Structure 1
């Protein structure tokens, strides 16, 4: 299995990774939710171990956001919070399993194997905004039935805009979602928005991507 460990305690993360690596699995690690989202935008994992209480972006918020982005990878929440309300909050956020600290490593691995065998959640499905259709699971977008040729980052930007449409998505939220901690130079976002606009709007009579100066960007149905 290829497993992503999202845990802000380096000692806990190292213990989990050492055990699972010895068991023959591939591991990667993020120390907060924002870094996890960035890794998940770039790589595919079979299952995610997600701590709940973390700086920058907590586990519940991170999983809510990745589900909004169409990422269906199974998630096991790992936390010391053991009340029924805490567990229900984890499942409502999009989690698939919930393991309370302290725990046995053998149980953790068995639960991960069960999640990996179950596979990703059923296709979160294509989302339509007017004549635009986006299928995140296939990495495809069409407008009026015509496929859009988009690079990886413009597609990520479009995915977030589609998930939030018709709400405004701020420039900072786009930067955080796409680049995480490694914020690019000031022209990078502008360049990718330009590429997205060319693919999404240029071939058509009416634009869908709106820029609201000082606020951000949004998609409008056409």
Structure 2
């Protein structure tokens, strides 16, 4: 009989994964065979513990997770992973999928997984549409959209530009400010545009 490999993921450092661990242990996964990504989003392609879990799996083994969204956010990625595991002779077991325990090692489990993955993606698309609709309405009404405020003054951006003009590498200047090189150039461009408009005003 193959080994059970458990995978646990929480998206933020503040979240607790004890419940997932308890469920996996109750399902027969040994604590030594648990892999945990803490503070890692499902949208990220690189998840260190998840990669180690995949490496630990061999033909006849089963990857066990508590819910489908532990694998990721995209139907394409989830189904692609299930197919990759199947090609390696590895099963996928989801403890709480559609209110039940689904194992892709069975024909019924494979079908349910496919349907539920599609439904999960549809739900995500609906949520995204609602958010976009809400943002559009707030923008049309002239309301604050929230989000992170720009945290650098025009003076700081001007100083950054002077450093770059003096020969300092833009990548280093951007890193010191805590932003990407592209963001720094965008901020410099915005500042230049505002200053040009001001200079043209009588």
> Same fold, TM exceeding 0.5?
no
More strand by share: 1
Structure ranking higher on relative contact order (CA contacts 8 Å, 6+ apart) = 1
Name the larger-Rg structure: 2
Scaled by the length of structure 2, the TM-score of the pair is 0.31
More helix by share: 2
Scaled by the length of structure 1, the TM-score of the pair is 0.29
